[in-house]
Amino acid sequence: MPVTARYGDPAANLGVDNDVLRLQLAHRSVRKFGSREVTDDELTALIAAAQSAPTSSNLQAWSVVAVRDPQRKARLAVLAGNQAFIAQAPLFLVWVADLSRARRLAEHAGTQVDAADYLETTLIGFIDTALAAQNAVIAAHSLGLGSVFVGAIRNAPEQVAAELGLPPHAVAAFGLAVGTPDPTEQAGVKPRLPQAAVVHREQYDASADAHIAAYNERLAAYNSRFGLAGNWTSRVLDRLRGPESMAGRHRLRETLDRLGLPSR
């Protein structure tokens, strides 16, 4: 059962089992792809799955730009931290928190949507986008495709918006590289924190952090299998140490304002 790999614990057990759970528990990020193209039918299925995700008040405040052109993928790869797998993947989906559609509706109706200027609505856009994209990831996996999210698409939001021709009030939230996994890639199912560290009964209990020590050992062992250093704690602290660790994303608030999401 994939649950043992998911937690890096041979004693892990769910007590229930079905095909959907197996698919979800076996998920891993793929950064090396085969040459086969993602078909139009497969893309249509991914988007249908994405549109089946929950959406706040049925606002459907997201869009997605499907990028196949090699030169455009290469430019996006540079903007997203020079990650070569973006250019190598046959399909790169850029998921967009899109409040521009509601703005156009208001313009055509001769009315205002002032609530779109507030942080709550910005959050709705990004949350809706994430829910939709995760549905697409599971659908891709069910079709034998692999994928990896690319948060670094937020390193240069204005340049990405120009590259994709995004209108005002629409912001690229993240990318998703999609393709057939290359079986030669050295990667596995990365263990997650034990449930005892993340599940709280009735009220939050910070003493659950005691379970992190065992997880640090499991993740360090996983990392060493693939030539990586460090445990979970060291990586979290390194990633969040300060603005210098954010690849320019510490300026995101003012960038969102310039792109039409003031989020006040």
Sorting pLDDT into bands at 50, 70 and 90, what band is 112? Answer: very high
Mean per-residue pLDDT over the chain, rounded: 96
Residue 116: the pLDDT is 97
Q: Is the pLDDT of residue 45 over 80?
A: yes
Q: What global pTM score does this model have?
A: 0.96
CA atoms within 13 A on the CB side of 21: 10
Share of the chain above pLDDT 90, in %: 97
Q: What is the mean pLDDT of residues 108-126?
A: 97
Please list the residues that pair with 150 across neighbouring strands: 175
- Whether 228 shows a pLDDT value over 90: the answer reads no
Q: Where are the domains of the chain?
A: 1-28, 31-183, 191-241
The yes-or-no verdict on residue 1 having pLDDT over 80 is no
Give residue-wise pLDDT tens across range 73-96. Answer: 999 999 999 999 999 999 999 999
Instruction: Indicate if the pLDDT at residue 28 is higher than 70.
Output: yes
Q: Cβ(28)–Cβ(189) under 8 Å?
A: yes
The whole-number pLDDT of residue 139 equals 98
- pLDDT of 122 reads 97
- Structurally, at CATH architecture level, domain 31-183 sits in 3-Layer(aba) Sandwich (3.40)
